[in-house]
Amino acid sequence: MSFCTAVNCMDGRVQLPVIQYLRKRFNVKYVDTISEPGPNAILAKRTDISVVESINRRVRISIEKHESVGIAVVGHFDCAGNPADQGQQTEHTRAAVRHLHEMFTGIPVIGLWVNEAGEVSEIGDYVAGEQV
């Protein structure tokens, strides 16, 4: 079995596009989904430590138990949990990617943006310890 991990918003509009994208991106069969409202802002700001620790714990389970080969953090249009504009959300996502990269070294971490049409694009990643 092959897995990757998505730290995604709970918004149902972005679930399938992200899963489909990540299955191809990481060449995996399954995507473990960790959902929170506005997870990119949660991980970027780190003001709610209990939620940050909960996300980290669930990512660790995906890595250790399912041998996840990659992690993605997702931001998207019209997010109720992170109502910031795309530019600010991109900054949140990049900060969240840095956080997860620091927590889980040796595994690729990417940032994703999902637009109004359900199209997914990458906004930065860390591979083998270097930002790309």
Contact 4, 68 (CB under 8 A): yes
User: Chain-wide mean pLDDT for the chain?
Assistant: 94
131, pLDDT greater than 70: no
* Two tokens, residue 77: 């249009």
Tens digits of per-residue pLDDT, 80-123?
999 999 999 999 999 999 999 999 999 999 999 999 999 999 99
CATH of region 3-131, choose from 3.50.50.60, 3.40.1050.10, 3.90.1560.10, 1.20.1440.230: 3.40.1050.10
Asked if 94 and 72 touch (Cβ cutoff 8 Å), the reply is no
- The pLDDT score that the predictor gives to residue 1 is 74
pLDDT of residue 125: 58
CA separation for the pair 132, 128 (Å, rounded) = 10
Collapsed DSSP state (helix, strand, coil) of residue 87: helix
pLDDT at residue 41, as a whole number: 98
Q: Where are the domains of the chain?
A: 3-131
Integer Cα distance of 8 and 96 in angstroms: 12
CA distances from 36 to 16, 83, 129 (A): 15, 14, 26
Residue 128 is predicted with a pLDDT of 43
Rounded to an integer, what is the distance from CA 75 to the centroid of its chain?
8
Neighbouring residues of 83: CB distance < 8 A, sequence distance ≥ 6: none
